[in-house]
C-alpha cells in the first residue's frame, strides 16, 4: 500500500518517504532558506490610546461645542471615542478642579508621634490627679 502511495506521489516506485517530501518541496518551489525564514505577515498588537490632560480638555471643549450644534455623534465617530469616555473625563476634570480649589492647610504638617506624646502626657496628668 505504501509503495503504491509512493509511486503515485513521487512518480518512481520504491523510493523512500524522504524523497516524497523532497519531491513535494521541489514542486512548490520552496528551498531550505525559505523554510527557515519567518512568516512575513506580522500581526500588529493593539495598544490602548492614552490622552494627555491637554488633549482631553480640548476634546471635551470640542464635544461641548458640537453638542450645541447637534453634531456630537459625528465628532465622536471622527475621533473614535465613546460617550462613556467623555463622561468619565468630565468626572475626573470636576474632581481635579474641586481638589485644586479646596482650601489648603497652612503651616507645618502635624507629626503623628508628637500627637501620641501629647496624648500620653495628658493621660499621665489625669492619672496622677
Full domain range(s) for residue 97: 53-101
Q: Is the pLDDT of residue 27 over 70?
A: no
> What is the end-to-end Cα distance of the chain in Å, rounded?
110
The string of pLDDT tens digits covering residues 59-71 is 999 999 998 888 9
Verify that 97 and 58 share a domain, yes or no. yes
Does some domain include residue 46? no
Confidence class for position 48, pLDDT limits 50, 70, 90: confident
Integer Cα distance of 119 and 126 in angstroms: 11
* Residues 3/14, Cβ–Cβ less than 8 Å: yes
Cell 471622527 found at = 78
Total number of domains constituting the chain: 2
Integer Cα distance of 87 and 91 in angstroms: 6
Amino acid at each position: 500500500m505504501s509503495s503504491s502511495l509512493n509511486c503515485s506521489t513521487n512518480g518512481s516506485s520504491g523510493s523512500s518517504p524522504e524523497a516524497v517530501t523532497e519531491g513535494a518541496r521541489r514542486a512548490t518551489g520552496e528551498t531550505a532558506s525559505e523554510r527557515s525564514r519567518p512568516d512575513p505577515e506580522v500581526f500588529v498588537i493593539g495598544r490602548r490610546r492614552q490622552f494627555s490632560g491637554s488633549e482631553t480638555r480640548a476634546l471635551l471643549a470640542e464635544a461641548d461645542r458640537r453638542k450645541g450644534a447637534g453634531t456630537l455623534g459625528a465628532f465622536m465617530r471622527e475621533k473614535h471615542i465613546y460617550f462613556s469616555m467623555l463622561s468619565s473625563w468630565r468626572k475626573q476634570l470636576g474632581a481635579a478642579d474641586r481638589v485644586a480649589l479646596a482650601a489648603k492647610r497652612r503651616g507645618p504638617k502635624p507629626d503623628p508621634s508628637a500627637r501620641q506624646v501629647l496624648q500620653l502626657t495628658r493621660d499621665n496628668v489625669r492619672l496622677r490627679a
